[in-house]
């Protein structure tokens, strides 16, 4: 409610106008349709337990997708997030299992190690693609390989385990049935929403995605902002690593394979344009929900694996088609 009022006095138009709300509602409607469908077809779907499960299950993708939103908004892409997450988890796993630290210190160390690793990888992605004006697709594809190789090398391809008990606690803690890790993701969404809509930084990111040259000619350092966007994306990969570790209590060097596609899908299903400049992190939130609900619901209704994969593809396509019609009517 308070948000609503703030918005009325502080409109950040292309992101929070009636139109954008409708736009989000559009994909929101696809989500609603899915939820109704699953509720009707399986009694287990709308149970508190299952809702908790869904929230837990979308957390990692949501965290990654928040960072990915920044990168896609400036017209870039980051294929390395899954690998970077694994690398960060492995580094943090090494840190947390170092002998001679109390649980609190060990956890702090791990969190710092994970985020630093993520930030560093993101910084490298951003610096190289911005400095030489190279396609981020290729640079981050390179990083995908580098980070994965590094994760395997550092861990010697072994799963790292036996973390402090407090860390597990955090991973499985709930507040009124809502997983704490999901709340962490929500906080990230909120922060991203705030930054994108209410700060100069966010404004310029949208500007760069729309017309980089115009922003450059207005005297802004486009490079710096691009680097920042990739760094944020690396940061969220680091946070995702922490969530992964807390949830599963291990660090696996082969974690996160293919996560980049899921994160990108959440962003784009959420209405952010791959060519940059348009979209919102609220859309990303809904996109992540669509993917998560779909994965959950299709198992609950007992579809076989292969059918499930096919139906997932079909529903993703239908969701964006539906969204298209919504956007069309909203526009006229």
Partner 1 sequence: MVAATQTAAQAPAHSTQFLSVERLKKYFGGVKALDGVSFFLEQGEVHALVGENGAGKSTLIKILSGVFPYDHGAISLDGQTYRPQSPHEAKERGVQVVHQEFNLLDHLSIAENISIEKLPRNRFGLLDRPELNSRARKALDAIGLTDIDVKAPVSTLGIAHRQLVEIARALQSESQILILDEPTATLTERETKRLFELVARIKADGVTVVFVSHHLDEVFEICDRVTVFRNGRTIATDLIAETTPDGIVQRMVGRQLAGEMVSGDEQKDFGGVALSVQNLRTEANPTDTGVSFDLRYGEIVGIAGLVGAGRTEILRGIFGIDPVRSGEVQRDGETARFSGPGDAIAAGIGFVTEDRKDEGLILDMPISANISLANINSVSQAGLLKFAAERRQATEAGEKLKLKYGRTADPASSLSGGNQQKVVLAKWLARDPKVLLLDEPTRGVDVGAKAEIYAILKDLARSGVALLVVSSEMPELMTLADRILVLAEHQIQGTLQRADFSEENILKLAYGQTELAGGNSQ
Partner 2 sequence: MADDKPKVGLIMKSLANEFFQNMMAGAEAHQEKRGDYELLAVGMQNETDFESQINAVENFITQGVDAIVVAPADSRAMVRPLKKAMEAGIVVVNFDVALDEDAKKQQGIELAFVGPDNRGGAKLAGDALGKKLGEGGKVVIIEGNPGADNANQRRMGFEDSVAEYKLDLLDSRTAHWETEEANTVFSNMLTAHPDIQGVMAANDSMAIGVVKALESAGRTDIMVVGFDNIPAVGPMIEDGRMLATVDQFGTDMAANAIDLALEVVGGGGELKGWVKTPIELVAAQ
Footprint of its own copies on this chain (CB under 8 A)? 79, 128, 132-135, 137-139, 141-150, 152-153, 157, 261, 264-265, 268-269, 273-275, 305-314, 316-317, 320-321, 324
198 binds, among partner 2, its own copies, partner 1, none (CB under 5 to 8 A by kind): partner 1
What is the pairing mode between strands 174-175 and 160-161?
A: unpaired
218 binds, among partner 2, partner 1, its own copies, none (CB under 5 to 8 A by kind): partner 1
Q: Measured from the CB atom, is 90 or 232 closer to its own copies?
A: 90
Residue of 98, 157, 191, 321 that binds partner 2 (CB under 8 A): 157
Residue of 1, 200, 305, 314 that binds partner 1 (CB under 8 A): 200
Sequence-distant (6+) residues with CB within 8 A of 292 are 54, 57, 58, 61
Can residue 261 be called a binding residue for partner 2 (CB under 8 A)? no
Minimum CB–partner distance for residue 275 and partner 1 (Å): 11
173 binds, among its own copies, partner 2, partner 1, none (CB under 5 to 8 A by kind): none
Residue of 137, 161, 325, 329 that binds partner 2 (CB under 8 A): 161
Residue whose token pair is 């299709």: 298
CB neighbours of residue 80 within 10 Å:
30
Can residue 207 be called a binding residue for partner 1 (CB under 8 A)? yes
Q: Which two tokens stand for residue 307?
A: 């059918």
Can residue 248 be called a binding residue for partner 2 (CB under 8 A)? yes
CA angle, 252 as apex, 248 and 253 as ends, to 5°? 155
Q: Measured from the CB atom, is 41 or 325 closer to partner 2?
A: 41
Q: Measured from the CB atom, is 254 or 330 closer to partner 2?
A: 254
Is 194:203 a contact under the CB 8 Å cutoff? no
Residue whose token pair is 């995908």: 144
Q: Measured from the CB atom, is 231 or 262 closer to partner 1?
A: 231
Can residue 201 be called a binding residue for partner 1 (CB under 8 A)? yes
Is 54:176 a contact under the CB 8 Å cutoff? no
Q: Which two tokens stand for residue 171?
A: 């991973």
Minimum CB–partner distance for residue 240 and its own copies (Å): 20
- DSSP labels for 226-261? HHHHHHHHHHHHHHHHHHHHHHHSEE-TTTTTTHHH
Is 240:263 a contact under the CB 8 Å cutoff? no
């Amino acid at each position: 409610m308070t948000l609503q009022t703030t918005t009325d006095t502080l409109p950040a138009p292309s992101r929070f106008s009636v139109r954008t709300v409708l736009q989000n509602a559009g994909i929101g409607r696809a989500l609603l349709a899915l939820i109704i469908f699953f509720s009707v077809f399986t009694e287990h779907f709308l149970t508190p337990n299952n809702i908790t499960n869904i929230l837990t299950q979308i957390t990692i993708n949501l965290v990654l997708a928040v960072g990915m939103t920044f990168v896609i908004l400036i017209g870039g892409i980051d294929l390395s997030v899954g690998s970077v997450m694994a690398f960060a988890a492995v580094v943090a796993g090494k840190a947390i299992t170092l002998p001679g630290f109390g649980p609190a210190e060990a956890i702090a160390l791990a969190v710092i190690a994970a985020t630093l690793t993520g930030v560093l990888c993101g910084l490298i992605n951003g610096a190289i693609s911005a400095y030489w004006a190279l396609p981020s697709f290729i640079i981050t594809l390179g990083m995908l390989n580098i980070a994965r190789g590094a994760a395997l090398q550092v861990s010697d391809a072994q799963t790292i385990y036996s973390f402090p008990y407090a860390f597990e606690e955090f991973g499985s803690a709930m507040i009124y049935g809502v997983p704490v890790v999901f709340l962490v993701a929500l906080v990230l969404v909120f922060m991203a929403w705030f930054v994108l809509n209410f700060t100069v930084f966010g404004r310029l990111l949208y500007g760069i995605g729309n017309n980089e040259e115009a922003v450059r000619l207005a005297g802004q350092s486009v490079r710096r902002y691009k680097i920042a966007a990739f760094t944020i994306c690396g940061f969220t990969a680091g946070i995702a690593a922490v969530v992964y570790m807390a949830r599963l209590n291990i660090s696996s060097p082969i974690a996160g394979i293919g996560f980049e596609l899921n994160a990108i899908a959440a962003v784009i299903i959420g209405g952010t344009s791959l060519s940059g400049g348009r979209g919102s992190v609220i859309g990303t939130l809904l996109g992540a929900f669509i993917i998560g609900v779909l994965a959950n619901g299709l198992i609950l209704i007992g579809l076989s694996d292969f059918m499930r994969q096919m139906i997932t593809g079909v529903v993703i396509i239908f969701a964006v088609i539906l969204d298209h019609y919504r956007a069309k009517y909203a526009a006229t």
